[in-house]
Amino acid sequence: MRPFDYERATSLHDASERMSDAAAIIAGGTNLLDLMKIQVMTPSRLVDISRLDGLDRIDDHDGGLRIGALVTNTALATDPRVRAGWPVLSRAILAGASAQIRNKATTGGNLLQRTRCPYFYDTAMACNKRAPGTGCSAQGGSGRMLALLGTSEDCLAAHPSDMAVALAVLGASVEITAPSGELRTLPVTQLYTLPGNRPDIETDLKQGEIITAVVLPAPRPGTAQTYRKVRDRASYAFALVSVAAVVLMDGDTIAEASLAFGGIAPRPWTDGSVNALLAGAEASDESFARAAAQLVPDSAPHPETEFKRPLLRRTLIATLREATGLAGRVDTARSL
Amino acid sequence: MTEIFRMNEAQPRLLDEMRQGVVGKPLSRPEGPKKVTGTARYAAEDLPDGCVHGVLVRATISRGRVTGLDREAIRDMPGLIDVITDARLLRNPAQGMAGVAPCQPNGEVFYHGQPIALVVAESLETARDAAHRLPVHYEEIAFETDPEAAQDREDKDPETAGHFDATFAASSVTIDARYRTDAQAAAAMEPHAAIAQWSGETVLLRGSLQMLRFNRDELADSLGIDPERVRILSPFIGGGFGSKLGIGPEAVAAAIASEKIGRPVRVVMSRQTVFDTVLRRSETLQRVRLGADGDGRLRAISHDDLVSNLPGESFAEPVSQASQFLYGADGLSFSQTLARVSRTPSGSVRAPGEAVGMLALESAMDELAEKLGLCPVELRLRNIPETHPMTGQAYSVRRLADCLRTGAEQFGWARRGAPGAQVEGDWRIGMGVASAARKSALVQSAARVRLLGDRAVVETDMTDIGTGSYAILGQIAGEMLGLPVEKVDVRLGDTSFPGASGSGGSFGANSAGSAVFLAAKKIRAELAAQLGCAPGELALQDGIARGGNIERALTDLVSSEIVHEAEIAAGDTSKSHLSSGFGAHFAEVAVNVWTGEVRVRRMLGVMAMGRILNEKTSRSQALGGMIWGIGSALTEALEHDPRTGHIVTRDLANYHVPSHADVPGDMSVVFLEERDDMANPIQTKGIGELGISGAGAAVLNAIAHATGARVRDFPALPDRVIRAIEMAGV
Ligand SMILES: Cc1cc2nc3c(=O)[nH]c(=O)nc-3n(C[C@H](O)[C@H](O)[C@H](O)COP(=O)(O)OP(=O)(O)OC[C@H]3O[C@@H](n4cnc5c(N)ncnc54)[C@H](O)[C@@H]3O)c2cc1C
């Protein structure tokens, strides 16, 4: 581990002032400290925002919620308002990490956690994200945790957050405070940039900008919400594929459906054309299969992510079967 | 020198005649409170004054040689003390019971991740940073990382009995199936660690090691010194599972650095280094062929395998070990190919052989039962041989049939319907069974017991790797000497005590336990003589001795202390009889037909494994094994980079041991009463590895029953289940 200065910010403004290329914000530290120990991240200064006032509150806001950046994953997942109005968010958070980590992890930190690509984690391996211009050793390497969509020649990494997938499906936005004190908001889906030839740039955030809150729009009454995460063990593993769904039914017909996907792209993935296909469709395996065909690419960018194509298709169908109540009906459950 | 007692014939069941009543009881581990309050000091925790920190430098090529280290580049780092390269540094840990130094490559590189130097600094952080920054120059040569493509391979002569080919050809129903298992890691919670400290000519090593008697010789041989000059302390070990059987690179590097620098040196492997350099369980490719008559009697059994290791390592995962004695047939054949590849070397990991071999064998038995239209329990019952089909040995005592029958009844096996028939929404429910078998052994072992009035002390260099050695050795001594366990002080993990078997191969309790038993028996003989009665008339209980109408407190009888040492070794019975634990595993799973997710709903293990010395610690061992069985079946896989061979899943976030959510609440273990008279004088069998043997196969067979689709690539990760489901077209 490299030596670093530890500084406790006294205000947001103070925190912004202390930021530089060589500085990093520390919130819960559950991702940053791990990466510092293995020297994947080597900031020379840590600016601790975890004790700043007011960032750990969940407030009612325009019929929705304003969630402070320091609200812990546990506090957010267990908030009664969240559980009642946005259950998909609760479920997604609880599907991630472990209770101990969630107790410490924050809303802002969760959004900005780094990829779990094993080559990013190993400083002996070339990685354009960690060390721009060195190459991508995931190409031709071991690929189970890599992305299926939104990748580039230079980077195959997937974004690992579960929470972000739920926020994406709910149309949440991120509130960002600039060093000047100015606020701007971005939809969660626009917070992240695709890797292209600059995989080291992961978000739209400018130097000194701090995420101060996440804003949830008013809940959609009558919707069924679900988060389905398929992984290599029942708990405490990152998603191979995950699907967040918010579905409004009208009898046997889907009135509206909103889907977001995790584990398959450098950001929580959404595809408006898939939602559009489902709107007005009958809730049936055929409709779901059509939606899956629309979403799943014809080929995988890496031979070892090939398996994610059928897995994504099937998980999407399984999630919709669950959200629309089809899965419960034993007569249809036998047909694949 | 104490005379060695050899197990040449069955011994009386003395423990059953004792009065104290502590053997077998579900007593808690005496060191438990220390462990949960942080007062049990593990290897890395007892920092001597002036101790400095070493970090191993890892090779980042797969094969070749180190041509230079650019020490200059890091010379000015504050707090850096030294960069140590030494011809005595180890390539990898010693294999279990080697007793000599493992490969000392002297600059040659055999696998990506191999330790090649030690950086020493005043702080761990500086040492890590320096190890990370140190430029290393290499000369690379060609290598192979894929066991199935390797040219450098050794084909062992097949072991056979009868004529397999002919009997297989003559069988009316046959199975010929290939199975793959991914490599596994022991994944002990405590990373490998050592602190070395020299005083004069001798080195004291605090380590995390399973077999001290051997480790002392290995360390001495590695350093090129006399074993008398080495003392190892390893009182607490945070899990081993085979990964701490032999001396490791951390220990030898610490000793070399400490001698050179003149200060104590601590070397703790990072989690990633543990994955890089500690012996893993080899991946396997297995082919099982079974031939049977129409009525389900096996005529032919063959089990061939391909495993891998580094050049020069003698160990080859003994995949077909249990296949050679579990069932009988007219023709049997077992062959092995060992591929030499540049991957982290392989070694003994909990139940080497059975843990992966039985996944394949017991899957194949299930496939055969299916083909025969026979109940899988019944097929197993029909094929229990009279004698060892390969050697003709008698079985010491074997309750396999009882285990299968008891398990079937308690699990509700009769309710098991047709494959794929039980449906709950998108989930299919199924039940599976597998036999369990794990060879048991007796390894030379010595112990000293001191009786000091109404308390006793046990001393042996035996280790407790979290399994309960402290508990059971106290129980054996307490039982024999008529003392409650609180009055017995068990001292382990110090090479200055008599040398024991160590913990490995499930033989620790058999071996060290017998040595303690024999030493206590000698004390009993002396007490009997003092009372003037025959040893058989002596009764000891709660500190009171009775015999020949005399009753005296031990505190009166023992003026200062009575000390005896005893040593045991295997004898004729190990040749005439096969001693093995047997059992039966049952599992019920739910499989999501869309996503391929598998959830184990309940599990039952019925086991007969000799005398149970402690019902609680034995149960924990059995459960722990079954949980690893779930891991083998569903979650645990080391991934190797196809180009470099290095392990990509190098931490516990990416190497998936089962989480709590993978383990059902309904996990039960039933022990059937048993005494193994041929095994040792305390009539025990190995406990630690039977639980894992076969357990995963029960889960895999349950998946096949639930879905009607057979997964043959283990673990059955969701995508593999999906592939099987799509291929089977169910
Ligand atoms: C073993 C393990 C398993 C895990 N499994 C999962 C999983 O299954 N699913 C999942 O979603 N997550 C998982 N996680 C990740 C976990 O959710 C994140 O570590 C956590 O959410 C990060 O939050 P933090 O507050 O600790 O962030 P930190 O570690 O403090 O920060 C993370 C990053 O965000 C930056 N940052 C933090 N706050 C702000 C802010 N307000 N403004 C600007 N920048 C900021 C930091 O500079 C840093 O770069 C796992 C983590 C571990 C260690």
Contact between B34 and B40 (Cβ < 8 Å): yes
Tell me if B594 and A315 make a contact (CB, 8 A cut-off).
Answer: yes
Tell me the CA distances in angstroms from B405 to B17, B365, B409, B622, B699, one per residue in order. 31, 17, 6, 19, 18
- Last residue of some domain: A51, A70, A87? A51
B703 to chain A, minimum CA–CA distance in Å? 15
Average pLDDT of chain A, as a whole number: 96
* B580-592/B598-608 β-pairing: antiparallel
- Cα(B610)–Cα(A14) distance, rounded to whole angstroms? 69
Cross-strand partners of B458: B449, B490
pLDDT for the residue B570: 98
- Cα(A215)–Cα(A58) distance, rounded to whole angstroms? 10
Which residue from B minimizes the CA distance to A118? B648
pLDDT for the residue A331: 38
Tell me if A336 and B658 make a contact (CB, 8 A cut-off).
Answer: no
- Last residue of some domain: B543, B569, B595? B569
B479 and B565, same domain (yes or no): yes
pLDDT for the residue A109: 98
Which residue from B minimizes the CA distance to A40? B132
pLDDT in tens, B67-100: 999 999 999 999 999 999 999 999 999 999 999 9
Number of domains in chain B: 2
Average pLDDT of chain B, as a whole number: 97
**At B201, which amino acid appears?**
E
B529 and B549, same domain (yes or no): yes
B612 and B507, same domain (yes or no): no
pLDDT at A336 over 80: no
**At A139, which amino acid appears?**
Q
Tell me the CA distances in angstroms from A122 to A29, A119, A136, A322, B238, one per residue in order. 19, 5, 12, 39, 26
Tell me if B648 and A142 make a contact (CB, 8 A cut-off).
Answer: yes
- A211 assigned to some structural domain: no
Ligand 1 nearest-atom number relative to CA A112: 34
Which residue from A minimizes the CA distance to B125? A1
B433 and B581, same domain (yes or no): yes
B453 and B468, same domain (yes or no): yes
pLDDT for the residue B502: 98
Roughly what angle, to the nearest 10 degrees, separates helices B508-531 and B469-481?
20
Residues 6+ apart with CB under 8 A from B418: none
- B645 Rama class: left (phi>0) / alpha (psi -120 to 50) / beta: left
B603 and B661, same domain (yes or no): yes
Mean pLDDT of B174-189: 98
Residue-wise DSSP of B296-351:
S-EEEEEEEEEEEE-TT------TTTGGGTSS--SEEEEEEEEEE-SSS-B---SS
- A162 assigned to some structural domain: no
- Show the domain range for A16: 5-51
pLDDT at B326 over 90: yes
Q: DSSP strand E in B8-79: where?
A: 52-58, 64-69
pLDDT in tens, B427-469: 999 999 999 999 999 999 999 999 999 999 999 999 999 999 9
- Cα(B496)–Cα(B514) distance, rounded to whole angstroms? 20
A129 to chain B, minimum CA–CA distance in Å? 18
pLDDT at A262 over 70: yes
pLDDT at B210 over 80: yes
Task: Decide: pTM greater than 0.95.
Answer: yes
pLDDT for the residue A190: 97
B410 and B505, same domain (yes or no): no
- B15 assigned to some structural domain: yes
Tell me if A318 and B58 make a contact (CB, 8 A cut-off).
Answer: no
Collect all residues of chain A within an 8 Å Cβ-Cβ radius of residue B719. Answer: 240, 307-308, 310-311
- B432 assigned to some structural domain: yes
pLDDT in tens, B94-142: 999 999 999 999 999 999 999 999 999 999 999 999 999 999 999 999 9
Mean pLDDT of B469-494: 98
B9 counts as catalytic: no
Residue to mutate among B62, B126, B426, B651, with most A CBs inside 10 A, is B426
Confidence band (pLDDT; 50, 70, 90) for A328? confident
Confidence band (pLDDT; 50, 70, 90) for B1? low
B44 to chain A, minimum CA–CA distance in Å? 18
User: Rounded to 5 degrees, what are φ and ψ at A277?
Assistant: -60, -35
Tell me if B132 and A228 make a contact (CB, 8 A cut-off).
Answer: no
Residue-wise DSSP of A255-312:
EEEEEEEESSSSS-B--HHHHHHHTT-BSSHHHHHHHHHHHS-SS-SSGGGTTHHHHH
CATH of the domain at A257: 3.30.390.50
- Cα(B402)–Cα(B671) distance, rounded to whole angstroms? 11
CATH of the domain at A38: 3.30.43.10
pLDDT for the residue A330: 43
DSSP B684: B
The residue annotated as part of the active site, out of B201, B459, B689, B726, is B689
A161 Cα to the center of ligand 1, angstroms: 8
Tell me if B656 and A232 make a contact (CB, 8 A cut-off).
Answer: yes
Contact between B625 and B581 (Cβ < 8 Å): no
**At B37, which amino acid appears?**
T
Ligand 1 nearest-atom number relative to CA A33: 29
Other beta carbons less than 10 A from residue A39's beta carbon: 16
Measured over the CA atoms of residue B702, residue B707, residue B709 and residue B711, the dihedral's sign is negative
User: Rounded to 5 degrees, what are φ and ψ at B438?
Assistant: -150, 120
B588 and B498, same domain (yes or no): no
Residues 6+ apart with CB under 8 A from B685: B440, B506, B510, B579, B580, B581, B609, B610, B674, B676, B679
B424 and B453, same domain (yes or no): no
Collect all residues of chain B within an 8 Å Cβ-Cβ radius of residue A141. Answer: 641-643, 648
pLDDT in tens, B230-243: 999 999 999 999 99
Mean pLDDT of B155-163: 97
- A161 assigned to some structural domain: no
- B188 assigned to some structural domain: no
Ligand 1 shell residues, CB under 6 Å: A 24-32, 34, 69, 73, 96-97, 101, 104-106, 108-110, 112-113, 160-163, 210-211, 238; B 653
- B643 assigned to some structural domain: yes
- A136 assigned to some structural domain: no
- Cα(A308)–Cα(A288) distance, rounded to whole angstroms? 17
B567 to chain A, minimum CA–CA distance in Å? 46
pLDDT for the residue B730: 76
pLDDT for the residue B490: 98
Pocket test for ligand 1, best of A18, A31, A165, A202 (most atoms within 8 A of CB): A31
- A260 assigned to some structural domain: yes
Collect all residues of chain B within an 8 Å Cβ-Cβ radius of residue A308. Answer: 719
Collect all residues of chain A within an 8 Å Cβ-Cβ radius of residue B115. Answer: none
Among the partner-chain residues B60, B640, B661, the one whose CB lies closest to the CB of A234 is B661
Mean pLDDT of B562-576: 98
Mean pLDDT of A130-146: 97
Contact between B84 and B260 (Cβ < 8 Å): yes
Number of domains in chain A: 2
pLDDT for the residue B633: 98
B586 and B521, same domain (yes or no): no
pLDDT for the residue B548: 87
pLDDT at A17 over 60: yes
Which residue from B minimizes the CA distance to A116? B654
Mean pLDDT of A214-230: 97
ipTM over 0.85: yes
pLDDT at B13 over 80: yes
Mean pLDDT of B462-487: 98
Other beta carbons less than 10 A from residue B46's beta carbon: 14
B490 Cα to the center of ligand 1, angstroms: 46
B434 and B447, same domain (yes or no): no
- Cα(B81)–Cα(B291) distance, rounded to whole angstroms? 65
Among the partner-chain residues A235, A314, A330, the one whose CB lies closest to the CB of B423 is A330
B628 to chain A, minimum CA–CA distance in Å? 13
pLDDT at A334 over 60: no
- A210 assigned to some structural domain: no
SS3 B17: helix
CA-atom Rg of chain B in angstroms: 26
- Cα(A317)–Cα(A334) distance, rounded to whole angstroms? 14
CATH of the domain at B604: 3.30.365.10
- Show the domain range for B419: 382-438+576-728
Residues 6+ apart with CB under 8 A from B297: B382, B383
Per the structure block, which two tokens stand in for B1?
Answer: 């020198």
A286 Cα to the center of ligand 1, angstroms: 38
B495 and B530, same domain (yes or no): yes
Which residue from A minimizes the CA distance to B631? A233
